Structure 1
Amino acid sequence: MNVVVFDLETTGLSPERDAIVEIGALRVRDGRVEEGEHFQTLVRPLTATGEVLPIPWRVQQVHGISNEMVRAAPHLADVLPDFLAFVGDSPVVAHNIGFDGGFMRAAARRHGLVWSPTAEHCTMRLSRQVFPRERTHNLDVLAQRLDLGFTRGGRHRSLGDARVTAEAFVRLMERLRG
């Protein structure tokens, strides 16, 4: 299956009140992560009225993206068309697609664009299918369960999380097929 795996970092949990601060994505073809085909950018978060939306301290502690890091970053209006072009007509994958897809739908709507991938797959949902007796299905636990062996350095940054999600997706699909 050929898909685009993506992850977002944001200023908070609400697609209507909060903003995207980083987008990371990579392509998976025939069960392999395509190393040279990725999309990654920091994003300067703005409110609907165009004011800079500060990243709360507690959120900075989660993903490590500071207000200083995004001060000179492009605005979402400038990078969203490029990201949508990168996705193209590919199905998309995210861990907790409801969160990332919700942010993408809200962001696209605000900028007069459409987020309508041909299909959306969720590694959290797949994890629940493959490991129905397990209670926890967050990305860290799933990576351990699948013995992905990632290092924490890339976690909670969009491209690092997209990479872990891509590897998890490939392994989960193999288990579902086998």
Structure 2
Amino acid sequence: MNVVVFDLETTGLSPERDGIVEIGALRIVDGQVDETQKFETLVRPTGEAGQPLLIPWRAERVHGISNEMVRGAPGLPEVLPEFLDFVNGWPVVAHNIGFDGGFMRVHARRHGLDWTPAAEHCTVQLSRRAFPKERAHNLNALADRLGLNFAPGGRHRSFGDVQVTAQAYVRLMERLGVGV
């Protein structure tokens, strides 16, 4: 199966109130993570009416993305069409697809675009199926369980999280006996 693994970093937890500050994505082609087919960009966040949003210190503390870093970045009106072209209707994978997919649906609709991947797969749910006796299924716990490592400075940055999520997806599908 061919899928696009993606991750977002945001200004907060509410798709309606908060903005996207980074998008990272990789393709898995014929069951292999293809790091040559990637999408990675910072995004200047905006609110529902297009007004600039500041990155709260709590969010910056998690992902390390500052207002200064996104000041010259493109906004979602430029980034979303490019990202949707990259996805190209393929099935998508995210660690906690409800969060990332929810942000994509709200923000695509806000910009007159459709978020319509062929399917949405969640590595949290796959982890729960593969490791039913484990309590923690966050990305750190899953990476540890599967022997995966984040690149230095990669945790809580979109592309670093995507690299581990993509590898985890392949290993989870193998463990569950499902062809990738």
TM over 0.5: yes
* Cα separation, 1, equivalents of 2:152 and 2:120: 26
1:28 deviates by 0.5
* Cα separation, 2, equivalents of 1:119 and 1:53: 31
Mapped pair 1:136 → 2:136: yes
The residue aligned with 1:80 is 80
Identity of aligned residues (%): 70
1:48 deviates by 1.8
For structure 2, which runs of at least 5 residues remain unmatched after alignment? Answer: none
Partner of 1:40, secondary structure, is strand
Mapped pair 1:145 → 2:125: no
Partner of 2:173, secondary structure, is helix
CA-atom RMSD, angstroms? 1.0
Mapped pair 1:93 → 2:60: no
TM-score, scaled to structure 1: 0.97
* Cα separation, 1, equivalents of 2:159 and 2:175: 24
Cα separation, partners in 2 of 1:130 and 1:48, compared to 1, 3 Å: same
Partner of 2:33, secondary structure, is strand
1:9 deviates by 0.1
Quick one: which amino acid aligns to residue 156 of structure 1? H
Quick one: which amino acid aligns to residue 31 of structure 1? G
* Cα separation, 2, equivalents of 1:98 and 1:48: 20
The residue aligned with 1:47 is 47
1:153 deviates by 1.7
1:89 deviates by 2.1
Partner of 1:159, secondary structure, is helix
Quick one: which amino acid aligns to residue 72 of structure 2? A
1:151 deviates by 4.0
Query: Which residues in structure 2 correspond to 1:12-27 (within 5 Å)?
Result: 12-27=12-27
* Cα separation, 1, equivalents of 2:63 and 2:127: 23
TM-score, scaled to structure 2: 0.96
* Cα separation, 2, equivalents of 1:34 and 1:47: 33
For structure 1, which runs of at least 5 residues remain unmatched after alignment? Answer: none
Q: Is the 8 A contact 2:150 2:161 kept in 1?
A: no
Q: How many residues align?
A: 178
The residue aligned with 2:118 is 118
* Cα separation, 1, equivalents of 2:66 and 2:54: 9
